[in-house]
Amino acid sequence: MAIRLTIAVPTHNRAALLGETLASLAAQRLPEGFEPECIVVDNNSSDRTPAVVEEAAARAPFAMRRVFEPRPGSSFARNRAVDEAGGDFILFIDDDAVADSSWAARMLAAIERRRLDAACGMVLPRWEAAPPRWLGPSLYVRFAVHDQHAIAAAPPAAAEVLRNYFSANVGFRRECFTRFGRFREDLGVVGGNPISGEDTELFARIIARGGAMGFVPEARVFHLVPAARMNRKYLLRKAFAFGVGTALAGGRSHNHLDKLARNAARTAAAAARGDRERALCHELECANFLGYWWGRLSKGGAPPASG
């Protein structure tokens, strides 16, 4: 019996990039016995997204269709993909990422071989412009991309941590959403609102409830890092917003008062020795702390995680 696979692409006003993503999906090399489909969830786009999907679908070797989701927000788009999916497995990729031709096959093989409920693959940066000198590997996580050299040099178990799991490259068994719940719709990026964390919250929930989750470094996608984001202001805004999202998600947090004092001191020390990369790393931890407590206090405390 054929194994059904759904590849889901949530998108919002990324027509200029979406075509390249869809072309990389059409070029996937899948083993015999798989029955793939691609669902593009159009999250209330106002650009050429419908035409781009139609053009890509005409060239794709498997079914590719667009579904319109009027409620703005990444969580709504992801959950709509789950509703529409016909696959035994659901793989997600971002609309500004390009998949290696063996991406889907390697992700599925790892999920089956390791009996995982969900897995995240390697997300490599695709720099729109040469990054500034201060933007070193310790800051890659802030763009939701991996430092592949550090991962390759470390023991494999070191990669199996929550901070390495990014939704730009993730796969699930379909029953995972029945067992552990779906993406929380009170979290997730909406338009210009950068509050995220719906993916991290789901991954943490799967792990906390006894699910098997793993990192698959051989399943690679290349994620665009726009030049407009390679600046301190953007990174501080994202760190603050992620802190707010952590507060809304509930659960344990490392945002205690000693964190703020420790990172403030480390920011000053790194700046004094001229290490801009490390200074910004610690400054972002301060912004995350402030965002977390702003979220807690403005909402009267963080709500418990839901299923």
**Beta-carbon count within 10 A of 246 CB:** 26
Strands 213-225 and 118-127: parallel
CA pair distance 299, 303, nearest whole angstrom: 9
Q: How far are the Cα atoms of 71, 96, 131, 133, 229 from residue 128, in angstroms, in the given order?
A: 30, 11, 8, 15, 10
**pLDDT for 196:** 65
Structure tokens at 6: 């759904």
Sheet containing 118-127: which strands, arranged edge to edge? 63-68, 34-42, 3-11, 89-93, 169-173, 118-127, 213-225, 97-99
Q: How far are the Cα atoms of 137, 166, 198, 305 from residue 184, in angstroms, in the given order?
A: 30, 16, 6, 9
Q: Please write the tens of the pLDDT for every residue from 195-254.
A: 667 898 999 999 999 999 999 999 999 999 999 999 999 999 989 988 887 787 776 667
Tell me how far apart the 2 most distant CA atoms of the chain are, in Å.
64
**Beta-carbon count within 10 A of 83 CB:** 12
Residue 142's pLDDT band (cuts 50, 70, 90): very high
Structure tokens at 162: 């929550």
pTM above 0.85, yes or no: yes
Identify the residue with better confidence: 141 or 191: 141
Q: Is the pLDDT of residue 33 over 60?
A: yes
Residue 17: strand, helix, or coil: helix
Q: Please write the tens of the pLDDT for every residue from 144-199.
A: 999 999 999 999 899 999 989 999 999 999 999 999 999 998 876 665 555 667 89
Identify the residue with better confidence: 95 or 293: 95
Q: DSSP for 38-62? A: EEEEE-S--SSHHHHHHHHHHH-SS
CA pair distance 257, 238, nearest whole angstrom: 20
Q: Is the pLDDT of residue 303 over 80?
A: no
**pLDDT for 190:** 65
Q: Where are the domains of the chain?
A: 3-229, 232-298
Q: Domain 3-229 maps to which CATH number in 3.90.78.10, 2.40.37.10, 3.90.550.10, 3.40.718.10?
A: 3.90.550.10
Residue 302's pLDDT band (cuts 50, 70, 90): very low
C-alpha atoms less than 13 angstroms from C-alpha of 247 in its C-beta half-sphere: 23
CA pair distance 204, 197, nearest whole angstrom: 10
For residue 189, give the nearest of 292, 77, 92, 297 by alpha carbon: 77
Q: Which amino acid is at 54?
A: E
Q: Please write the tens of the pLDDT for every residue from 110-121.
A: 999 999 999 999
Quote the Cα angle for 151-113-1, to 5°.
140
For residue 284, give the nearest of 303, 301, 267, 269 by alpha carbon: 267
**pLDDT for 83:** 97
- Is residue 257 within 8 A of residue 286, CB to CB? The reply is no
